[in-house]
A and B are shown apart, each in its own frame.
Chain A
């Protein structure tokens, strides 16, 4: 079993966009046992570049679980770093599993078993 300790040798610089966002998405790992693919939805006030970068970093952080862009998976990460978008109102099939801090929330899609 390989443990993940990517910051052990370098002082984590939160100005580094990867290190900063990796620490936001890291808690999601605790809820992914047995999952192979999860979804990812970004808040509407994220710019397209931010959305892409956050999505890519989420995939980097959560590998080997595949992260698919969109809400059509059993578990869905919602990245609301910069706004208070009511994701449940926009997508009524999503129910909250856990708010994980720093704008990252894990949802369950009721339609997907």
Chain B
């Protein structure tokens, strides 16, 4: 069991690593960023291949394994070929150069040691949680792992997983997590609670390392380590990760997408839009909220493209975005059109009730109060905001184009908040019950993105005297002609 799990996870991560290296066209300089992206992209890609194989040939693990190995070989060949064809375009220096790195060399080292200390403690918390709840929390066994059991055990009857008889288990939810788990169970020939725990652990490592590497890519390693420490300091992160819910994997894809659209805005290289398309489509393949996110990112890409360079550029931008999104969207369309029943929130909406719900000021007040409470009090976020509030005046904000570059990310996150607000406003369920059972998780999906945005616009510690070089560097980068892939 452990050998099979290790082997299949390694194949997935290798696919992810080669895929992100091919998209970022960076192998040596940004190994940390590529490795972090590899976890989610790899597991997501394997899940897509597993589902397409399941749909076409039934539950035959050897078929998806062969396809994965072929994909691995193709990606490796593409990288080798491309590096020989255009060596000058590979391994460009990181944008986190001496202008953003802290001049105090001891500081990143100290922060790294502090991060390691926190990681060790939080790993123990994760292990203890998994040990006490090996099947995960309510949604893990009620939705995700249950669906994985259907996919792995039902043979050719696997579409039973989407029966209306178990409509309470949300059979319309997409299959990235169940697919990742069932893929390993089928190949190992054994169903063990070890596998969902490993998948949860990998995505937890992925979110943390992506937050650190992504922030470091923009603002230096000291800042990256601080962002990582802040994420771990939020009380509920490890509890939530160990619960085996799909929200931590979803937050991985949210973060990867925002990082990619932020880098596209800053570097004006459309390869980042391909990456954004891939990760946004995998978000949609993880949870229904991811579908809203995917649409919002697509809209933002068009709007930002039109605002900056006109509609022709916006059309090209969205084409590159859709190129990356292709496999994930195809998978999602097959699932939604062929297998999934209608969504309970959409099907339950009654037009006759809508007017009353929307005009009921009490509902608005309740939702706003819950959002406010969630932002301040849940998961220890109050102490996190306090920490950032104290830290900000010491280092200051980079009032450079960084803020402009990240405006697309802010638009997407604001759009997500508005869409969640509208979902609660029009929910067919009891509002209090719905807020109590869903809001904390919805917020938690966005916490890594919020921390990333905050640390991306804050100056690195000890960097105060270097504002001008940063500004000059930003201007130089933004004045470069736009590069295609």
Contact = CB atoms under 8 A, between A and B. Distances in A.
Interface SS majority for chain A: loop
Interface in A24-58: 36-37, 56-57
Nearest to B130: A10
B133 A3 contact: no
A11 interface: yes
Q: Which residue of A2, A10, A18, A57 has the most chain B CB atoms within 10 A of its CB atom?
A: A2
B186 interface: yes
Given A18-B135, A18-B141, A59 B146 contact: yes
Nearest to B135: A18
A68 B134 CA distance: 25
B153 to A, nearest CB: 5
B219 interface: no
Contact of B165 (A3, A10, A68): A68
Nearest to B152: A2
A44 B134 CA distance: 30
B131 interface: yes
Interface SS majority for chain B: helix
B150 A11 contact: no
A64 B131 contact: no
B1 interface: yes
A19 B140 CA distance: 13
Contact of A7 (B146, B163, B193): B193
Nearest to B134: A10
B194 interface: yes
Contact of B189 (A2, A8, A66): A2
A1 interface: yes
B142 A60 contact: yes
A64 B160 contact: yes
A4 B191 contact: yes
Interface in B153-181: 153-155, 157-158, 160-161, 163, 165-166, 168-169
Contacts of A36: 157, 160
A29 to B, nearest CB: 10
A11 B134 CA distance: 9
A5 B192 contact: yes
Interface string B333-347: 000000000000000
Given A60-B146, A64-B154, A3 B190 contact: yes
A64 B157 CA distance: 8
Contact of A66 (B145, B163, B168, B192): B163
A97 interface: no
B132 interface: yes
Given A16-B132, A56-B168, A57-B141, A64 B191 contact: no
B149 interface: yes
Given A6-B193, A10-B131, A16-B134, A59 B158 contact: no
Contact of B145 (A3, A9, A11, A60): A60
A22 interface: yes
B185 interface: yes
Please give me the 3 A-B residue pairs with the lowest Cβ-Cβ distance, nearest first: A64-B154, A9-B194, A10-B134
20 contacts: A2-B153, A2-B186, A2-B189, A2-B190, A4-B153, A5-B192, A6-B134, A7-B134, A8-B190, A9-B1, A9-B194, A11-B131, A12-B134, A16-B133, A60-B146, A63-B146, A63-B149, A63-B153, A64-B160, A64-B161
Interface of A: 1-13, 15-16, 18-19, 22, 36-37, 56-57, 59-60, 63-64, 66-68
